[in-house]
Structure 1
Amino acid sequence: MIRVGVDVGGTFTDIVLERTRVAGEDDQQVVVTKVPSTPHDQSEGVVAGVLQVCKQAGVAPGEIDVLFHGTTVATNMVIERNGAEVGMLTTRGFRDILHMARHKRPHNFSLQFDVPWQSKPLVKRRNRLPISERLMPPTGEVDVPMDEGEVREAAELLKKRGVDAVIVGFLFSFLNDTHEKRAVEILREVMPDAFICASSEVVNVIREYERFSSTAMNAYIGPKTARYLNSLETRLRDNGVQCPVRIMQSNGGISTVAQSATHPIGLLLSGPAGGVIGGRWTGGHCDTGNVITIDIGGTSADISVIQNGELRIKNPRDTEVAGLPVLAPMIDIDAIGAGGGSIAYIDEGGAFRVGPRSAGAVPGPACYGQGGTEPTVTDAQVALGRLDPERFLGGDLSIDRGLAEKAIKVHIADPLGMSVTEAALGILKIINNNMALAINANSVAKGIDPRTFSLMGFGGAGPLHAVALGEMIQAEAVISPLQPGITAAMGLLVTDLKYEYTRSVLQTLDDADDDALARINAIADELVAEADAQLDADGIPADARTYTKVMECRYLGQGFELRAEMPHAALTEENKHKVIDSFFDVHKEAYGHAFRDQITEGVTLRVIAGAEVDQLRLSNLDHGGREDPHAALLYTNDTVFDDGHPTPTPRYDREKLLAEDRVNGPAIITQHNSTTIVPPGYVATVLGHGDIRITRT
């Protein structure tokens, strides 16, 4: 079995290949590599990386059994606002819901605030066309039949305007989707080449603004995402890779190319999600279920919290991308513009700033010698002697310390009247403070005490900053994973197949009688049937499938819900209290209190269906137990730490470290895809699989 994981970042594309059970060889072979990303077409970098890792592993591309892929295509489209031209058919009288939204100001007291759903709408008002039709709550009965002639005329108009995608969003369609389904049929007759979807297909739940916005988002990113995925499959086949391709989802599961192409809304956190999965897997190796992960790449830092070995899923009220609500399940990840490529500059007011603007893959930091002239965080690391030119990416990428120092001197040091060393240290202090504040916002502000958690830094730049960040947030330890620069790609190989299906229920549970509970159970059965149809298409055997039922609940009269666990069996008068009690417990954890004497209302039923896949396995290292092992020592170079003075600092080859080896700071541990810094006053201990725990001496 040969499996490959590919994670695309803003600067590098990371690839890991696992080969198991090969006759005549060791039980397992793991090969990792990195190649520059190709922002103009991510598939070029993906295929180049796959071919490179195959060459390193000595396997033919056609031998790969399955390829897992995490992508930022969808996210970048929304951030850069370069998606499709979208049209919309909606209930007459409600075409402006996407403009009015919830009448909330993003910043109540700002005179310059931006309202993204108005300034950069996913669907222009001229393309939101009203249709005569009306359904009535609470049953979804038809009050005004849909005018099919109007639908056909609207379709012809949108076709004439050349829109790439069309959505159908009718009022109360979550109660009765017949009008939406018929409108979609007519649209596909008139516009067979357009990307078309209905709100009842994408997010079949209550709240028309969020439902319409989510469906618009699905269509906005749909055509380009589908083209990318199809192009990727074609490019892979043309290069001999014939295996199935699976795509990372925002909820921490994987999906098929076909499902991802029709529901690309599930890919909006595809890239960062793999890192969090890899962080949880690594935490298991390190015997800790409480981990704060920070994935620092070239352009961004992605932060998440894993508590008791469980991923945190965002509350639906918080699931947004670029300021727009997206009713798709997402791992709770916060991203900020902070990475190795973040540019340091002096703003118009004379303030010293770093990021969020990034040098990206092209031209990259000044030290790359590819035309970049502005100083970046990577340039600061090089200028301080923390990254060695001869060891950067194992020597695969040449860097020039002189160019790094020149950029810092010209743009920062000279204008501020300081030395290059002081300016470089300032760059790192600013970027570290930015990241520490973001970590606290994702942990302390949400009731998590970092002092009882380990901070895990990964991504190419993660272990360079991890100890400094761990000190700032007072984490109990810092972990550098076995392959920090490839952790997100490795996470793809420990991710299970997962789909989520939702339906509104709107039922108070305390007084729910047998008829009400039977209706909820019928909805659950329908969702399971939908899941089974998808798993059948994936070829998953019935005995390998898993199902989890969740009910999003609130107190009667509340505006938003929290996820409560449901029993596996059908709901009855005898077991419905388990859902209520679970909601109370979750509410207390989230808000610090629970009103157990109040009425609980179930709003949305969610079925999470999936199947376990083969997991990446790591062999145990041989036991070492050595102190500053000389066998792993490479050389000693001067390095500047926070005191500002050059300090002779030994470099160790991580591949030569064994289990229970201890490396005392100051030290730098190098490997192909990342560099781990052990500052003075800290000690690094190698764990059983090769992960490193760093603590104060």
Structure 2
Amino acid sequence: MADPRPLRVGVDIGGTFTDLAVLDDRGIVAVGKTLTTHREPAAAVEQVLRQTLEEHRLDPAAITTVVHGTTLVTNALIERRGARTALLTTEGFRDVVEMGREHRYELYDLGLELPRPLVPRHLRFGVRERLRADGTVLTPLDVDTVRRLGVELAAAGVTAVAVCFLHSHTNGEHERRAREVLDEVAPELRVALSCEVNPEIREYERTSTTLANVYVQQLVETYLADLRERLRRCGVRTDPLIMLSHGGVAALETARRFPIRMLESGPAGGALGAVAFGRAAGRPDQLAFDMGGTTAKLCVVERHRPLVTHTFEVDRVYRLRAGSGLPVRAPVIDMIEIGTGGGSIARVDPLGLITVGPDSAGSEPGPVCYGRGGTRCTVTDADVVLGYLDPARFLGGEMDLDAAAAEAAVKEQIAEPLGVSVAEAAWGVHTTANENMANAARVHAVERGQDPGRLPVFVSGGNGPLHGPGVARALGAPAVVAPPAAGVLSALGFLSAPMSIDIVRSRHALLSELDVDAAAALFAEMAREGTDVLVASGVSDVDVTCERTLEMRYVGQGGEIEVPVPPPDGPGWRDAVLAAFRDQYAQRFGTVAPSGVEPELLTWRVTASGPRPRAHLGFESTSDGSGALLGHRDAYFAPDGYRSTAVYDRYRLAPGTVLEGPALVEEREATLLVPPGARCSVEADSSIVVDFTAGGPR
């Protein structure tokens, strides 16, 4: 039974399914997928791990690494399932989290709904203290008030406290002293300091981020302890590593201390998978498209790197409207999330138009065709009616789909209200979902200075290969790349991520007046801090590399752009920074600033990383192509209607195979749709590339 080769496991908990992938030094050994258990997320991890190990006769003692990603933090913030939390802030500033930036994200909406703070006003307290902007003390900390509040808060049932004093990003002395006092009088309180969680300018974002971090900390600690225990019961001897939102992994202790950095850990895996396959195939620029059961995510990959941002919003009142959610300052892969997935509910609106999402049937109860009590027509129900999914082979035959129930739901809820056939109604749902995602992708790419029509679309997720070709055609993209095991690619992508931590400081300076020696000292201090975190997590200090960036703008502007810079090494460094800033500025905005306007620096960042794991994410193919054609079934393609369509077994396709559309290529977790007029080929790394330049309609 035992497999002598060391095994590495990636696990991703999504809104509908929990995915698992197992690698050895030659490639993918096994994959697994099960429905997510929302009340006990770690239960699904234990279930899918046990099933996969038993099915493939793998020894859990051979597992050397487990990397885990989850949407637990995001869901807890959205559902308000965190701890009873209080805020201590500078006297006169307790309403910062409610006032925000006094920005109306919808100017003419008289009933505008603003994001609700995590802490109500009666649990926000001002403390007498004050630091100047340069960090010097103007008014000493009122220790007696902090002591009194600690006792009262503990007695009132508060279990978490965020401390966020004015200008503490330049001097954390008062915040650290406040924590010492709270630890003395109420040691059971969890205390988060803004000078540690987010030492950056802008009080609203810094306060909101610190509150969010401590709000979910107890929940995350409990979950991680449960996950660790369940892995132990499965025979896994190593502690899991946790996927962070910016594309690196961290040890349990880092995740416990800064759970806010796990905010988008699950969606990061799809982008990392796109990077790994892109490196192997020489595709530096791509649009990574991940579509699961609940949402779709899109991310631009430039020069083998997913774009990263440091501002994110949670629980938006209006899903696509910036400013309508709770701001969080943490490094996250820059992706747009659309409320369109396989479980997204389709309906006819009052204008007689088909709409899809953003609400989803998820896994409980799921689409109608799942037979788990769902009654609302979903995208997956439409795909079953169109013949794209085989009801008898879904999840490798482990889950039967009720095609008749899906057809009845489409007929009653879409076709009859519109006065069209069931097939036309299902096609309308399918194409509406594709157009929604393509429109979002187009805006996302253009805002980042990219032409979506030149980027190949890398698809992942259980529904990515099925809908990705439609999205690509709507964008005018040249090709779609479908990797092996696309349905669990996030779990695979985790295994290509290095250990990594992001260190940040805010120090304002004009570039022309910057002391290069002081810059070198600050970067060195940050690099040491990042290196110490990684060494404590088991990385050798000689294997740590550091990348430096600056957030810069022209004087008078209100927003910054991130600029990669070399280490400060002499008087020519300022000129190198200026050139890098101008290049980034021109790429983003298509222009340069007028003469006479000076650049300034606001935020300094160092990303410390360990070595990138050597991970072959493909299957070790030994197939000669025989038996790959499973047969034919009717599938719908407008305007022709249902056509007899060849169905292939993904695992039996040999590298070099070329197929003409229409075709359906099935594997256990996903189905690739090759539209009429397109041609696909199987690459050496087992990816399938769907080429839209071969002919046929675009």
1:29 Cα deviation from its structure 2 partner:
5.3
C-alpha separation in 1, matches of 2:559 and 2:182: 34
Q: Does residue 1:264 correspond to 2:259, yes or no? A: yes
When structure 1 is superposed on structure 2, of 480-489 and 342-351 the one drifting more is 342-351
Deviations 1:121-179 (A, max 9, x none): 111111111111111122x1212111111001111221122123100000111121111
Partner of 1:244: 239
C-alpha separation in 2, matches of 1:416 and 1:194: 58
- SS of the equivalent of 1:374 reads coil
Q: Partner amino acid for 1:216?
A: L
Match of 2:14 among 5, 9, 21: 9
Match of 1:669 among 635, 654, 665: 665
Contact 2:554 2:600 in 1 (8 A): yes
C-alpha separation in 1, matches of 2:335 and 2:51: 31
C-alpha separation in 2, matches of 1:578 and 1:620: 45
Partner of 1:565: 564
- SS of the equivalent of 1:390 reads coil
C-alpha separation in 2, matches of 1:29 and 1:588: 42
C-alpha separation in 2, matches of 1:146 and 1:222: 26
Matching of residues 620-635 of structure 1 within 5 Å? 621=621, 631-635=627-631
1:613 Cα deviation from its structure 2 partner:
4.0
For this pair of structures, how many residues does the alignment match?
A: 678
1:534 Cα deviation from its structure 2 partner:
1.0
Matching of residues 173-184 of structure 1 within 5 Å? 173-184=168-179
- SS of the equivalent of 1:652 reads strand
C-alpha separation in 2, matches of 1:167 and 1:403: 50
Partner of 2:142: 147
Contact 2:221 2:256 in 1 (8 A): yes
C-alpha separation in 1, matches of 2:314 and 2:521: 30
Contact 1:299 1:342 in 2 (8 A): yes
Match of 1:640 among 636, 656, 665: 636
Q: Does residue 1:94 correspond to 2:93, yes or no? A: yes
Tell me, which stretches of 5 or more residues in structure 2 are unaligned?
1-5, 317-324
Contact 1:413 1:423 in 2 (8 A): yes
Contact 1:205 1:211 in 2 (8 A): yes
| Runs ≥4 residues deviating over 6 A | none
1:308 Cα deviation from its structure 2 partner:
2.4
C-alpha separation in 2, matches of 1:226 and 1:321: 22
Matching of residues 432-447 of structure 1 within 5 Å? 432-447=434-449
- SS of the equivalent of 1:500 reads strand
Identity %: 37
1:572 Cα deviation from its structure 2 partner:
3.3
Contact 1:421 1:644 in 2 (8 A): no
Q: Does residue 1:223 correspond to 2:223, yes or no? A: no
1:3 Cα deviation from its structure 2 partner:
0.7
- SS of the equivalent of 1:330 reads strand
1:623 Cα deviation from its structure 2 partner:
8.7
Partner of 2:308: 313
- SS of the equivalent of 1:327 reads strand
- SS of the equivalent of 2:566 reads coil
Tell me, which stretches of 5 or more residues in structure 1 are unaligned?
21-26
Contact 2:312 2:332 in 1 (8 A): no
1:319 Cα deviation from its structure 2 partner:
5.9
C-alpha separation in 1, matches of 2:313 and 2:590: 22
1:409 Cα deviation from its structure 2 partner:
1.5
Contact 2:250 2:501 in 1 (8 A): yes
Contact 1:8 1:37 in 2 (8 A): yes
Q: RMSD over aligned Cα, in angstroms?
A: 1.7
Q: Does residue 1:232 correspond to 2:227, yes or no? A: yes
When structure 1 is superposed on structure 2, of 329-338 and 519-528 the one drifting more is 519-528
Contact 2:21 2:28 in 1 (8 A): no
Contact 2:646 2:663 in 1 (8 A): yes
C-alpha separation in 1, matches of 2:133 and 2:348: 57
Q: Does residue 1:208 correspond to 2:203, yes or no? A: yes
Match of 2:509 among 507, 519, 525: 507
Partner of 1:532: 531
Contact 2:32 2:49 in 1 (8 A): no
C-alpha separation in 1, matches of 2:268 and 2:472: 22
Match of 1:161 among 142, 150, 156: 156
C-alpha separation in 2, matches of 1:549 and 1:359: 43
Instruction: Assess, with a 3 A threshold, how the Cα gap between structure 1 residues 165 and 571 changes in structure 2: closer, same or farther.
Output: farther
Partner of 2:483: 481
C-alpha separation in 1, matches of 2:346 and 2:296: 16
Partner of 1:428: 430
Q: Partner amino acid for 1:148?
A: V
Match of 1:451 among 434, 453, 467: 453
1:535 Cα deviation from its structure 2 partner:
1.8
Matching of residues 78-93 of structure 1 within 5 Å? 78-93=77-92
Match of 1:650 among 623, 646, 651: 646
Partner of 2:581: 583
- SS of the equivalent of 2:627 reads helix
TM-score of the pair, normalised by structure 2:
0.94
1:317 Cα deviation from its structure 2 partner:
5.3
Partner of 1:407: 409
- SS of the equivalent of 2:241 reads strand
Partner of 1:123: 119
Instruction: Assess, with a 3 A threshold, how the Cα gap between structure 1 residues 51 and 619 changes in structure 2: closer, same or farther.
Output: closer
When structure 1 is superposed on structure 2, of 85-94 and 528-537 the one drifting more is 528-537
1:622 Cα deviation from its structure 2 partner:
5.7
- SS of the equivalent of 2:392 reads helix
Matching of residues 44-123 of structure 1 within 5 Å? 44-116=43-115, 120-123=116-119
C-alpha separation in 2, matches of 1:317 and 1:28: 35
Deviations 1:485-531 (A, max 9, x none): 0111110010111101111111112122xxx3333333222212211
C-alpha separation in 1, matches of 2:475 and 2:242: 34
C-alpha separation in 1, matches of 2:336 and 2:557: 26
TM-score of the pair, normalised by structure 1:
0.94
1:620 Cα deviation from its structure 2 partner:
6.1
Instruction: Assess, with a 3 A threshold, how the Cα gap between structure 1 residues 121 and 463 changes in structure 2: closer, same or farther.
Output: same
Q: Does residue 1:463 correspond to 2:465, yes or no? A: yes
Q: Partner amino acid for 1:638?
A: D
Matching of residues 676-687 of structure 1 within 5 Å? 676-687=672-683
1:649 Cα deviation from its structure 2 partner:
0.9
Partner of 2:295: 300
1:417 Cα deviation from its structure 2 partner:
2.0
C-alpha separation in 2, matches of 1:526 and 1:54: 45
C-alpha separation in 1, matches of 2:410 and 2:183: 57
Partner of 1:552: 551
Q: Does residue 1:357 correspond to 2:363, yes or no? A: no
1:278 Cα deviation from its structure 2 partner:
0.5
Contact 1:505 1:520 in 2 (8 A): no
